[in-house]
Amino acid sequence: MSRISTLYLLAYNSFQSIGWTISLIKIFANLLATASIDGTYASAGNLICFLQCAAFLEVIHGAIGIVPSGVLLPLMQWGGRTHFVLAIVRKLDELQELPSVFITFLAWSMGEVIRYSHYAFSCLGNCPSWMTYLRYTAFIVLYPLGVGPGEIWTMYKALPIIKKNNLYADSFSGLPFSYYDFLKVVLVVYPFLWFKLYLHMFKQRRAKLYKRLDKKRA
């Protein structure tokens, strides 16, 4: 990797790490100030929407080859999360104070602080072993927490509101199905697509952690 690419990735990952740290602080600050999770979206929603949109750069990184992730898996993750936060949560005020939104944002923020910090340290060529272990262990709990009681439950709760309001009717007017129908299909396939990403993370975990153990033994 060229020095310019490394410096760029260091800047990008540091930016995302700081951004998600701020979102996590906002979530906890709201929780402490109000003794409630109701204001989670109001306190951190706009920042999380921005950071998630900016993460499309990771799809481009894979496409042009400056990171080895490829295009498909980053695109799947980015598309699923961006659709969730922009098309559903941001659009429907009725959902924004649900506990599932708090769970999602908390799991996302914690996971992304760890992930981007690990990437930033790796760009420096001096990532602490505890950071690598945390990166490839915390996801075991955080990923299913964010998806199950977080994203999927929120989308399920959105269905009757979407049906009642005929949401995105104009956009789907030329199609033989509605956005309501589309979201029902998404809810069916979402766990399977997510599980593919989850298994990929376990493969990475074995590769990264066992590789480090082999180096220590050598």
For the chain, give percent helix, strand, coil, nearest 5: 80, 0, 20
Helix (H, G, I), strand (E, B) or coil at 126: coil
Please check the confidence at residue 146 and state whether its pLDDT lies above 80: yes
What would the pLDDT profile of 165-216 be if each residue is shown by its tens digit? 999 999 999 999 999 999 999 999 999 999 999 999 999 999 989 766 555 5
pLDDT category at 2 given cuts 50, 70, 90 is confident
Residue 116, pLDDT above cutoff 90: yes
Cα–Cα distance, 111 to 116 (Å, whole number):
9
Catalytic site residues? 143, 151
For the chain, state the CA radius of gyration. Answer: 19
Q: What is the pTM of this model?
A: 0.93
Q: What is the mean pLDDT of residues 111-131?
A: 95
Q: What is the pLDDT, as a whole number, of residue 132?
A: 94
Q: What is the pLDDT of residue 213?
A: 57
- For residue 218, pLDDT over 80 is answered with no
Tokens of 72: 């498909």
Burial of 213 (0-12, 13-18, 19+ CB in 10 A): exposed
Residue 51, classified by CB atoms within 10 Å of its CB into exposed (0-12), middle (13-18) or buried (19+), is buried
84/50 Cα distance (integer angstroms): 13
Share of the chain above pLDDT 90, in %: 90
pLDDT, tens only, 44-98: 999 999 999 999 999 999 999 999 989 998 999 999 999 999 999 999 999 999 9
Q: Looking at the predicted structure, is the pLDDT value of residue 10 above 70? A: yes
